[in-house]
Amino acid sequence: MTPDENKKTARRIVIELFNAGNLDLVDKLIAANFIEHAAPPGMAQGREGFRAMIPMLRSAFPDLEYTIEDQVAEGDRVAQRVVGHGSMRGEFMGMQPTGKRAEWQEMHIHRFDSQGRLAEHWETSDELGMMAQLGLAPPS
């Protein structure tokens, strides 16, 4: 696949999977042997782990929405800078809902396989900033 095709798929993952919650696309966009390098504790690897992550996030943040601010690609890799927004209305990783809204930054690196499916993912995010906005950590 070309870098532009991989960018299109990376955008679909954000918009159609995470923002819209369309789990029907997981098998089409995510490799069966997918590796998540930033998996939360206890999260399974592979396509099924990925499939479980979306409803977990969306049940905690029903209005979850990511905005892609920057996206670049080279070879089989796509890097994205995204901004996440959401109100914590449900439990998340053992934390009780606060009802507060947060906005946070994330950086993603995706590696795509020869079929154009997401094969590996790395992420860094401003979790402390998000937790402070949600009232779950002291302000920084």
CA-based end-to-end distance of the chain? 42
| pTM for the whole structure | 0.94
- Backbone dihedral angles phi then psi of residue 101, each to the nearest 5 degrees: -100, 145
Domain covering 3-133 in this structure, CATH number:
3.10.450.50
Domain ranges of the chain: 3-133
Report the C-alpha gap between 134 and 121 in whole angstroms: 26
Q: Band of the pLDDT at 65, cuts 50, 70, 90?
A: very high
Instruction: Burial-class residue 3 by CB neighbours within 10 Å (0-12, 13-18, 19+).
Output: middle
Query: What is the rounded distance in angstroms from the CA atom of residue 70 to the CA atom of residue 101?
Result: 23
What percent of the chain has pLDDT above 70? 100
The pLDDT value recorded for residue 42 is 87
